Chain A
Amino acid sequence: MASLDDLKKRIQSVKSTQKITKAMKMVAAAKLRRAQENAEKGRPYSEKMNNIILNLSNGISDKENAPKLLTGSGEEKIHLCVVLTSDRGLCGGFNSNIIRKAKSYFQKILNEGKGLKIITVGSKGYDQLKRLYNENIVDKITFKESKNANYFDADKVGKIIIEKFEKKEFDVCTIFYNQFKNVITQIPQEQQIIPLKASEAKKDTETGDIYEFEPEEDEILSNLLPKNISTQIFKAMLENSASEQGSRMTAMDNATRNAGEMVDKLTIQYNRSRQAAITKELIEIISGAESL
């Protein structure tokens, strides 16, 4: 049984931990609103971009010579996986959910005997993956300096990917990120960006529209596709930052509540042992007086 002094110290330390988690929760809540707004504002751009590309690829006449970014290199030997995680911890299952999703995908690819290359964006992902897949990681990128997800950063990642594709370092590219559904649910996603997946194309096939293109389709496409990759990554980054804050907020909320429960429990224990000590002393005094 811990002494009264120990209990007192324990209660104090749990209380100060609670203060920290409470503050972190508030900060996350404030940031969440901003991140969520940004994620929602960013959606129209990537959707429009997708639509335009779909319309273009429908209109393209010469499928054989279509840009490689759209159709792929024709093979499926080497997979590049871009895993987007956060730079900071203490955000519940946020990072481990992405990593788990990514790991199961890695396993599938390795089992099929295909090549695997990994780019990690965000330091937490690298920390978790380096133990098992160190030899597969070809690049690690962090944006610790930038406060918010911005397009400039996304563009950098996009350029790295395209450069690697042009050097024929991989055939298929998939990105992993958390999609923000609401504050308590974030869904880990895998999205194939090279070659562009056909399943997404189904969404909006009210075409039949005949477009006039300026310059030619091929030229537009070959210019637009690299941009689209940056855009998709930017979208993933926005979703990720909103998810991160949401996840952190719920995690910190739970932590605050647990700390509160713990304080209550410890206080009861403290009071009980205090009373026990008093009673013991009283008994000693009384029995001492009786024996006189």
Chain B
Amino acid sequence: MSEQFKLEIISPEKSFFLNDNVTEAIIPGYEGEMGILKDHISIISFLKPGIIKIFSKDGEDNFYVDDGIAEFKENTLSILTSSIFNLKDQNKSFIENSIKDAENELNKENLEDQKRYLFNQKIEVLKSIN
């Protein structure tokens, strides 16, 4: 079982998730999704709204993130994010509310293109969960 690496997800309030036996992680990078395996080159990437998929020997975990930053270095993947939740823990109404909030934001005028793109992305992802 040498093909495993360490993953930690840290939010400002606490260390959110920690697993030493991750075989693969798929993160929503700013310029596209990426799968990270052991011995990946050192990388720093921004995250866009999306789903983090983590495959470990304990099974599969799915998290939704709004934004954040991921750093992979010496077989440790650290994800810093201020908005994250485990898909298992959230009920539908919460997700629907988030979609509504995002749609309201989108309807505001003079929105920057970049933000518009992010909100669209967010709605799309949240809808796909539902």
Interface residues of A (CB under 8 A from B): 38, 41-42, 44-46, 48-49, 52, 55-56, 150-151, 154-155, 209-215, 220, 223-224, 227, 231, 234
Contact of A45 among B10, B31, B42, B46 (CB under 8 A): B10
CB within 8 Å for A45 and B11 given contacts A56-B44, A213-B45, A214-B43:
yes
Binding site for A on B (CB under 8 A): 8, 10-15, 29-31, 41-46, 69, 71, 73, 78, 80, 82
Contacts of B13 in A (CB 8 A): 38, 41-42, 150-151
- B37 to A: closest C-beta gap in Å: 15
In terms of DSSP, what is the predominant structure of the interface of chain A? helix
CB within 8 Å: A-B pair count: 67
CA distance A211 to B40 in the complex (A): 11
Given the known A-B contacts A214-B31, A224-B69, are A44 and B10 also in contact in the complex, defined by CB atoms under 8 Å?
yes
Chain A's closest residue to B82 (CB) is: A151
Q: Please tell me if the beta carbons of B44 and A220 are within 8 angstroms of each other in the complex.
A: yes
A49 to B42, CA, bound (A): 16
Complex A-B: 30 CB contacts under 8 Å: A38-B13, A41-B15, A42-B12, A44-B10, A45-B10, A45-B80, A49-B80, A52-B44, A52-B80, A55-B44, A55-B71, A150-B13, A151-B11, A151-B13, A151-B82, A154-B12, A209-B42, A211-B44, A213-B43, A214-B29, A214-B30, A214-B43, A215-B31, A215-B46, A220-B44, A220-B46, A220-B69, A227-B82, A231-B12, A234-B12
Which applies to chain B's interface (DSSP): helix, strand, loop or mixed?
Answer: strand
Contact across chains for B29 and A42 when beta carbons are under 8 A apart: no
Q: Assuming A49-B80, A52-B80, is B44 touching A42 (CB within 8 A)?
A: no
Q: Which 7 A-B pairs have the closest CB atoms?
A: A41-B14, A214-B45, A151-B12, A212-B43, A211-B42, A45-B10, A45-B12
Asked whether, in the complex, the Cβ of B15 is within 8 Å of the Cβ of A209, the reply is no
- Could you tell me if A211 and B43 are in contact, using CB atoms closer than 8 angstroms? yes
Q: How far is the CA of A48 from the CA of B68 in the complex (A)?
A: 12
Whole-angstrom CA separation of A227 from B10 in the bound complex: 14
B15 and A215 contacting across the interface, CB-CB below 8 Å: no
Please indicate which of the listed interface residues A46, A150, A211 has the most CB atoms of chain B within 10 Å of its own CB: A211
In the bound complex, what is the Cα–Cα distance between A80 and B41 (angstroms)? Answer: 40
Cα-based distance from A231 to B13 in the complex (angstroms): 10
Please name all residues of chain B whose beta carbon is closer than 8 Å to the beta carbon of A48 when the two chains form the complex: 10, 71, 78, 80
Given contacts A48-B71, A151-B82, A220-B69, contact A214 B15 (CB under 8 A): no
A271 to B10, CA, bound (A): 63
Of the candidates A38, A210, A220, the one having the most CB atoms from chain B within 10 angstroms of its own CB is A220
Distance (whole angstroms) from the CB of A150 to the closest CB of chain B? 7
The contact of A215 among B12, B14, B30, B78, by CB within 8 Å, is B30
